[in-house]
Amino acid sequence: MSIKIKSNNGLLTTVVTAVTLLAATSATAATKWDMPTPYGDGYHQTINVRAFAADVKAATDGELDIVVHSGASLFKHPEIHRAVRTGQVPIGEMFMGVLGNDDPVFKLDNIPFLASDFSQAKDLWDASRSAVEDVMASNGLQLLYAVPWPGQSFYTKDPISSIADLKGLKMRAYSPTTSRLAVLLESTPTTVQVPEIPQAFGAGIINAMITSPSTGVSSQAWDFVRHYTDVQAWIPKNMVFVNNKAFKRLDADVQKAVLAAASKAETRGWEMAVEETRIKTESLGANGMVVVQPSAELQTALKAIGSTMAAEWAAEAGASGAKIMAEYQK
C-alpha cells in the first residue's frame, strides 16, 4: 500500500519535473540580443530600429528577441562599432560617417552636395552599398540596412548670407568629413556627440553646427542659436549591422527572418525620413527659430566647397571610389 502511494507521488513528481524542464528548455532556446543604438527615442531612426526588432520577434515567434538600448545607454556612439566587431554585443546601429577614417567609402556619406535630396541619396546608396558591405565583411560584420537622416543644415546665432559669415565660428563636427568641411569654411571644428550638444553650446565650446532638423529638435537648439538655414547639404545615413559569427549561430529560418525584417526596415526608414524632415523642420519654427532658405550666394559657395571635397575624396578613394562614382553617375 505504502509502495503504491510512493509510486503515485513519484509519477507526479516526474511529470511536474518534465513540464518544468520543457518550459525551461523552450525559454533558453530563445536568443536574446542586446542592441546598442546611438540616438534617443524621438528619432525616426530609433523608432524604425524598434519596429525592426518587433518584426524579428514576431516573425520568429519570439525565438530571437532583440533588446534595443537607445540613446548610447549601453555603449557610447564611437564604441558601438568595436563592440559588435569584437562580439561584446551581436548587433548595433551607428552613423556611417563616424568610420570615415577607417575607409573612404564612409566619407562619401558626408560630402556636401554630392547627393542632396532623397532620390539622389538613394542612387548614391545603391552605387556604394556593395563597397560598404565588403568593408563591413572584412571586419567580420554583416550590413543589414541603412536609413537616411533629413538633409544637414546650418544652426547659427546670426543670419548667414554668405560663407564669410561662417568664418571663425566654433563649429560642431560629428565625423572626419564634417571636420574637414569646417576647416574649409575657415571655422574651428570640435567633435561633439549628440547627447553633449547642449552642454557644448552652454560652455561655449561650439557656437554653430550643421545637422538635421531632428537633432536640432532633440538638442533644443533654440536655447542656443536662433537661425536655421535650410541648405540640406547632404543626406547621411545610419546603418544597422551584425557580428557575422553571431548571425551564423542563428537557425537558418531565423537568419532569413532577420534579413526580411532588415529589408522591410530599410524601405520603411527611407519613407519615414521624408516625414521626419517635414515634422522636425516645422518644430524648429514652432519653437521660435528663424527658418530660412539659403541665399544663392551661400549655396553656390557651399557647392564649390563640396566639389573640392569630392575631388579630395576621389584622390583618397582611388579605383574603388572611381567605380562607385561611375555607377552613381549612370
Q: Which residues bind ligand PCA (CB under 6 A)?
A: 95, 149, 174, 194, 211-212, 214-215, 236
CA distance 138 to 293: 42
Q: Of 33 and 234, which CB lies nearer to ligand PCA in the complex structure? A: 234
Q: Of 42 and 140, which CB lies nearer to ligand PCA in the complex structure? A: 42
Sheet (strand 170-173) strand order: 188-191, 170-173, 208-211, 153-156, 227-229, 290-292
Neighbours of 296 (CB within 10 A): 9
Q: Of 60 and 177, which CB lies nearer to ligand PCA in the complex structure? A: 177
- How far CA 108 is from CA of 8, 132, 234, in Å, comes to 73, 10, 10
Residue number, nearest CB to ligand PCA:
212
Q: Which residue in this structure is represented by grid cell 547639404? A: 233
Minimum CB–partner distance for residue 146 and ligand PCA (Å): 13
Minimum CB–partner distance for residue 163 and ligand PCA (Å): 21
Minimum CB–partner distance for residue 230 and ligand PCA (Å): 13
Minimum CB–partner distance for residue 214 and ligand PCA (Å): 6
Rg (CA), the chain: 24
Q: Of 63 and 196, which CB lies nearer to ligand PCA in the complex structure? A: 196
Helix (H) or strand (E) holding 242: strand 237-243
Minimum CB–partner distance for residue 109 and ligand PCA (Å): 10
Q: Of 187 and 211, which CB lies nearer to ligand PCA in the complex structure? A: 211
Contact 85, 241 (CB under 8 A): no
